[in-house]
Amino acid sequence: MSRSAVWHPFTQHATEPVPTTIVRTEGAYVDTREGKRVLDAISSWWVITHGHRQPKIMEAIRNATETLDQVIFAGLSHEPAERLAVALVELAPTGLDWVFYSDSGSTSVEVALKMALGFHRNNGAPRSRIVVMEHSYHGDTIGTMSVGARGVFNAAYEPLLFQVDKIPFPAAGRQQETLDSFERLARGREVAALIVEPLVLGAGGMLMYPASVLAELKRIAERSGTLFIADEVMTGWGRTGTMFACEQAAITPDILCTSKGLTGGSLPLAATLATDAIFRAHYSSDRTKTFFHSSSYTANPIACAAALANVGIWNDEPAAERVTALSRMQAEKIARFKGDARFENVRTTGTIAALDLSVGNAGYLAEVGPKLRTFFLQRGLLVRPLGNVIYLLPPYCVTSLELDRLYAAIDEAAALAGTGR
């Protein structure tokens, strides 16, 4: 076969091996062209929830293709989008009454940021400052890079980015510093919005913090008239143990972003949910107050049909019980590494488990990262550490025995990495 012309994401082609070709997916597995079954321990970048090619979702996709393909969503609508909007409002925290569709997690956050700025401007009291959390990641478009952590991910694109205010990550024992920092920034009533990944910062290293901090950040935001944006692109659809992470703090954000698990991971689709107050700020006979955002594939009917089937699974099957069972298994199985000097910060939130390999060269560009990826793949396991941070975020159909394989491999990987007790 000739050299591939594909430029892969987050891949340094000069140093990394040729990507493995996948020819089939099913359940918790992806199959290689060579016939090897690989256990997908990261849900293919956190999107697959119930399992690959979930039958009901696949059937919904096939049926949708019999009547619809893409339909312009400005001035027209269609039943899958209408029905899905109703379903999302019912599933989301109470008070999120409007659904704006887009096609990726990054675009759902871009939409949220624009909604927040438009809200204040259209209400006659413009605010332009955005507050973000240290180590956060919200996507790779210009706006989302601006509100994410600055570093190797976006250093080359710094001229394109706008400035934001940053609060520290609420590390254990230092949560009050985070709250005090946000209180100071919000006090002047100039902050348009605070955006956070609730409970778990994903690409920042699977960093976890308690729901009490989330609730207090929301309280400060309300008191200062600051909009609260919850980026639930990764944390939604059961990942943290509840449908949405915000539920654990008993809060309703002003804006909620969802994607990834929205279609069960089958097709790209995103939604930004907003309160009626935000919609009303854009609702006017003055056409300059229109919410000026779209993408060509907004509310793709086939993707909406897949999402409706996904919602049906949550409503009709014991999906929540599967999440609870997986959360319990993760907590039980990772406990073996607590107190193990080879690892630091052994942690879980819901179905997500993570631990840091104790190495001298840590961080996203840690030398051990690519070595670990190769090690796991050779053993038929799809695990993609964030540098020295090893995490497991499997689909909800994974079994206890499959998790045992994963944790045994982590044990072996630590020994090969040369960490000492």
Instruction: Encode pLDDT of 92-119 as tens digits.
Output: 999 999 999 999 999 999 999 999 999 9
**The token pair that represents 243 in the structure block:** 């449908």
> In angstroms, rounded to a whole number, what is the distance separating the alpha carbons of residues 236 and 230?
10
Domain range annotation of the chain = 58-316, 318-416
In the predicted structure, residue 421 carries a pLDDT above the cut 90:
no
Mean pLDDT over all residues of the chain? 96
Question: What's the fold here for domain 58-316?
Answer: Aspartate Aminotransferase; domain 2 (3.40.640)
Q: Which of 277, 276, 306, 294 lies closest to 83, judged by CA? A: 306
Q: What is the mean pLDDT of residues 387-401?
A: 97
**pLDDT for residue 223:** 97
Single-letter code of the amino acid located at 387: G
Q: Distances from the Cα of 84 to the Cαs of 47, 338, 345, in angstroms? A: 18, 43, 39
**pLDDT tens profile 77-87:** 999 999 999 99
In the predicted structure, residue 362 carries a pLDDT above the cut 90:
no
In the predicted structure, residue 272 carries a pLDDT above the cut 50:
yes
In the predicted structure, residue 384 carries a pLDDT above the cut 60:
yes
**pLDDT for residue 420:** 46
Let me know if the fold of 58-316 is the same as that of 318-416: no
Which residues make Cβ contacts (< 8 Å) with residue 102, sequence separation at least 6?
Answer: 108, 110, 111, 270, 271, 272, 293, 295, 298
**pLDDT for residue 63:** 98
**pLDDT for residue 70:** 97
Which residues make Cβ contacts (< 8 Å) with residue 135, sequence separation at least 6?
Answer: 149, 169, 201, 204, 205, 207
Q: Which of 359, 351, 358 lies closest to 334, judged by CA? A: 351
**pLDDT for residue 364:** 86
CATH 3.40.50.620 at 318-416, yes or no: no
**pLDDT tens profile 288-314:** 999 999 999 999 999 999 999 999 999
Length of the chain: 421
pTM of the model: 0.97
In the predicted structure, residue 36 carries a pLDDT above the cut 50:
yes
> Of all residues in the chain, what percent carry a pLDDT higher than 70?
99
Task: Give the CB-side neighbour count of residue 276, counting CA atoms within 13 A.
Answer: 3
Cβ burial of 350 (10 Å; 0-12, 13-18, 19+) is buried
**pLDDT for residue 418:** 64
**pLDDT tens profile 159-213:** 999 999 999 999 999 999 999 999 999 998 999 999 999 999 999 999 999 999 9
> In angstroms, rounded to a whole number, what is the distance separating the alpha carbons of residues 14 and 27?
33
**pLDDT for residue 3:** 83
**pLDDT for residue 360:** 85
